[in-house]
A and B are shown apart, each in its own frame.
Chain A
Amino acid sequence: MNLKNPHSNNEYSNENPSRENASDDDASSVNSGRRKLLESLESCRPGSDDFERLLDAETVAAVHSDAELTRRYGLVQQFDTAVARAYADVPVPGGLENRLLAALAADALVTQVEKATAENVTANVAADVRPLEARPGESHSVAPARMSRRGWLAACGAAGAATAAGLAGFWFLRPGEPVEMTVEQLLDDAFALHNSEGEQTPAVAIDVRNAPTDFPVSREFAVNGARLPRRNVDGKLLGRPGVAYELAPVGQPRATLYVLGDRSGAQGVAGVPDAASGLAQKTTGNRALGAWREGGLLYVFVVEGDEHRYRGYFKQSTGVYA
């Protein structure tokens, strides 16, 4: 296979004077062959054995016998590897999974209600519609039947029952813990707790690098090397064991991280993201609040101030990196 590089200033170039007298057919054939070969090289996935496994022996031999093609193939693979790596570099929004599950539950509910309603309407219409007696020589036209009041009541009743069943089914079937509290309620409770606590709450200053491992500071925070006040908050939030860290220096508006333990004997919470986000989930009463799960623990972060100040405490202040 004799394939020419139209861009290089060597014997492969289409602009090469030595080929000026070649017939158009020859040039076309060379171009076509070269295109096919380059397309073959481009079709090999990076880091795979596609080159040896999928390409025909003639193509493989042509590449091996041509230093320029071999070099080009290497560059193509290098490019493809870099692109494939960059392709996966997309942060996933926090809470996406929960939003998807909620949308799916709503859709399943609508489908079920529609189905139940249709079944009831069909049954009641069949019972209510009196057969018409056709006059001699007159054909029946099928007009939409008007639903009786009894039919509407039955349909509405079915829809209501389906709604209740659907909601119950959704929560029952949701993976994870049974739901007894929403994340919004949790943040409300955290707000109330934060309001009721003061800076004077007894605490022990601990070195984060050598902190007890039971309730560690979230790895999302850039507090390496700092000494932080830590205090016990057992049972004060969700009835769970836990601690609170004050991340802001004394004298500055508070930034409190609550780290809560396992849920045995305590309330479960629905809608808590599986990773931290630099974005506050709630702002109220000059406080920005957020919650997430991490390492089997539940984290609740309460900051005096706005979302900007909340975000500033995170290493990745622009979102969740799943």
Chain B
Amino acid sequence: MNRPESANIARLVAEHHAWIYRAAYRLCGSVADAEDLTQQTFLTAQRALAQLREPAAARGWLATILRTAFLKGIRKRRPISAESHDVDLQDFAAPIVEDAAIDGEGLQAALAELSDDARSILTMFYFEELSYRDIALQLEVPIGTVMSRLSRAKEQLRRRLRFLDETGSPDETGSPDESADRDKSRPAMGGSPRKQQRT
């Protein structure tokens, strides 16, 4: 056994497992899937530990592994939702409700209705706290594409969270009820981590 590698991976687990798990949960929406994804992330990290030359960059490196594992795994199971490709200018300008509250469970329920790509970019923005330029570098896409995807994903999230002033939106094609109907064929996701807590 290679001692330095083992020692390092143990330290990575100790320092980052909670953060990685939280990101995984936001991507997967279930406790079991998030734990599996977290484990997959660290297993991959262990085998590729030699690639990590700068310990300070460990979190970003692990996050990249996590995202890759998530997208690779999810795309094996189902096709990409066409919803993520819907573009409607109205979405970008719908009025936003002031002082709306958001809790962790409500957020997860809303995220579960979004496409995998949307969840991924929102996680990079909100949880990994990457700038749109860093997101563009990570995804290897133009900055304008990132801004467009991010804006669209945030607007979809706002709509799911009822964070929009629906009365002010003339186009209700993306209303939550209709979205729910449209998404009925999708695999069930979500669920409260507090209700699914494992021993």
Contact = CB atoms under 8 A, between A and B. Distances in A.
A173 B7 contact: yes
B146 interface: yes
A97 B158 CA distance: 34
Interface string B1-43: 1010011011101100110011001100001000100110011
A283 B47 CA distance: 37
B101 A169 contact: no
Contact of A75 (B9, B96, B193, B197): B96
Interface of B: 1, 3, 6-7, 9-11, 13-14, 17-18, 21-22, 25-26, 31, 35, 38-39, 42-43, 46-47, 89-90, 92-96, 98-104, 106-107, 123, 125-127, 129, 131-133, 144, 146-148, 150-151, 154-155, 157-158, 163, 168-170, 193-195, 197-199
A101 B102 contact: no
7 contacts: A6-B90, A79-B163, A84-B127, A89-B103, A93-B35, A318-B197, A322-B18
Contacts of A107: 43, 46-47
Contact of B42 (A34, A42, A100): A100
A50 B168 contact: no
Given A87-B127, A320-B197, A39 B93 contact: no
Interface of A: 5-8, 15, 31, 34-36, 38-40, 42-43, 45, 48, 50, 54, 72, 75-76, 78-80, 82-97, 99-101, 103-104, 107-108, 111-112, 165-166, 169-170, 173-175, 277, 279-281, 318-320, 322
Contacts of B95: 7-8
Given A90-B25, A90-B26, A90-B104, A173 B1 contact: yes
B142 to A, nearest CB: 12
A39 B150 contact: yes
B102 A39 contact: no
A108 B1 contact: yes
Contacts of A31: 89
B3 A169 contact: yes
B158 A50 contact: no
Contact of A43 (B42, B151, B168): B151
Contacts of A72: 96
A322 B17 CA distance: 11
Given A7-B90, A76-B96, A39 B148 contact: yes
Contacts of B46: 104, 107-108
A322 B18 CA distance: 7
Nearest to B101: A82
A100 B129 CA distance: 25
Contact of B22 (A83, A88, A169, A174): A88
A82 B104 CA distance: 10
Given A39-B147, A86-B104, A108-B1, 17 more contacts: A34-B92, A43-B131, A43-B146, A54-B131, A78-B98, A82-B101, A83-B107, A83-B126, A85-B102, A86-B103, A86-B107, A87-B123, A90-B104, A91-B197, A93-B31, A100-B39, A107-B47
Nearest to A82: B102
A236 B35 CA distance: 36
B1 A169 contact: yes
A170 B169 CA distance: 59
Given A38-B151, A39-B150, A54-B132, A319 B194 contact: yes
